[in-house]
Amino acid sequence: MKNRIDPELIEILELFPPLDLENVEATRQALATLSQTIELPMDEAVNIYDRLVPGPNDNPTVRVRIYEPRENRGTLPGMLWIHGGGYVLGVPEGDDSLCQRFVKEANCVIVSVDYRLAPEHPYPAGLEDCYSALKWFSEHAEELGVDPSRIGAAGASAGGGLTAALSLLARDRKGPALCFQMPLYPMIDDRNNSPSSLEITGNMVWNHDLNQKGWTMYLNGANGSDDVPAYAAPSRATDLSGLPYTYTCVGQLDPFRDETLDYVTRLCRAGVDVEFHLYPGCFHGFEGVVPNASISRRALEEYVGAVKHVLHREVLLQKK
Catalytic residues: 157, 254, 284
Residue 249, SS3?
Answer: strand
Task: Give the E-state strand segments of the chain in sequence order.
Answer: 46-54, 61-69, 76-82, 109-114, 146-156, 180-184, 245-251, 274-279
Let me know: does 291 contact 159? Beta carbons within 8 Å.
Answer: no
Q: Which residues contact 23 (CB under 8 A, 6 or more apart)?
A: none
Let me know: does 185 contact 250? Beta carbons within 8 Å.
Answer: yes
Look up residue 181 and give its amino acid.
Q
312 burial type by CB count under 10 A (0-12 exposed, 13-18 middle, 19+ buried): middle
Q: Which residues contact 123 (CB under 8 A, 6 or more apart)?
A: 87, 218, 219, 220, 231, 232
Q: Distances from the Cα of 134 to the Cαs of 157, 158, 177, 179, 272, in angstroms?
A: 19, 17, 10, 12, 21
Let me know: does 310 contact 76? Beta carbons within 8 Å.
Answer: no
- For helices 294-319 and 96-106, give the axis angle rounded to 10 degrees: 40
Let me know: does 137 contact 109? Beta carbons within 8 Å.
Answer: no
